[in-house]
Amino acid sequence: MEQQQNLANGASLPFMKMHGLGNDFVVIDGRKTGGQPEPAVIAAMADRHFGIGFDQLAVILPSAEVDARLVFYNADGSISGACGNATRCVARYLLDESGASELRIATDHAILIAQEAGNGLTRVNMGPPVLDWRRIPLAEDVDTLHLPIEGDPVATGMGNPHMTFFVEDIGAIHLENFGPIHENHALYPERTNVEVVQIVSRDEIILRIWERGTGITLASGSCSCASVVAAARRGLTNRRVKVNVPGGVLEIDWREDGVWMTAPTAHVFDGIWRG
């Protein structure tokens, strides 16, 4: 991988604003800028009042082995190992740029396959879920299907850690308080994303999301994947599920070769950051 310089405050930085079902991102094409912003710059860009505003930031980097490499950051400037909706947004950009129908994109989690799905949809294979406690990672050896936490959540890794709760009434959960308490639970040494799920049927769920380092979001690809994996492992749903999030609908399909995610994307505008 080519060495990339960090871009400090004061640098002129072209960016793209994209979203997947309201889960919004700043995307920087590092193949053209020759670098990526420092954590302090990322946090400044993320501010929705004094900056651009986003849930995560993605940097596209060149790669000799695959079509591109992606690095993800949370709104607080910390690294995020995976971001499914940002991957789909970037995949859409790269598919349109290249005219290809399929791409291979490297992330810290795995090499992901992205495909043209037709009707304005983009499909990404997020790879197999991680179910081993060491690799999620958790602080100790526990049953990942039944964590020793009030509410009986499930632990899953999708390139980032997840804690999934199943509830009867999703509207009764005060996510503003519930999310940060569990994000910072001692069982998760790297913090965790928190999902609250209400089962509609064996083929449909409702999902609310608290993302580590960001907070409440309208959608999340990795959280949607983790929730379906958790529900299927519990025997609550099938492995192909319609996931309703506040920003819209994703189709998640847990196949033998990984967890596939299909949904629309939007390229909202381009700009230049002059922080």
Which residues is 115 bridged to in the sheet? 102, 123
User: Does 84 appear as a known binding residue?
Assistant: yes
User: Does 211 appear as a known binding residue?
Assistant: yes
User: Does 23 appear as a known binding residue?
Assistant: yes
For residues 219 and 84, the answer to whether their CB atoms sit within 8 Å is no
> Based on the number of CB atoms within 10 Å of its own CB, is 204 exposed (0-12), middle (13-18) or buried (19 or more)?
middle
Task: Return the number of other C-beta atoms located less than 10 Å from residue 148's C-beta.
Answer: 10
Q: What would you report as the CA-atom Rg of the chain, rounded to the nearest whole angstrom? A: 18
The full DSSP string for 227-238 is HHHHHHHTTSS-
User: Does 222 appear as a known binding residue?
Assistant: yes
Give the Cα separation of 220 and 213 in Å (integer): 13
By C-alpha distance, which of 271, 265, 273 is closest to 23?
A: 265
Give the Cα separation of 183 and 217 in Å (integer): 14
User: Does 212 appear as a known binding residue?
Assistant: yes
User: Does 125 appear as a known binding residue?
Assistant: no
Give the Cα separation of 217 and 30 in Å (integer): 26
**Residues annotated as part of the active site:** 83
Give the Cα separation of 197 and 117 in Å (integer): 26
Residue ranges at the known binding site for substrate: 23, 56, 74, 84-85, 160, 193, 211-212, 221-222
Residue ranges at the known binding site: 23, 56, 74, 84-85, 160, 193, 211-212, 221-222
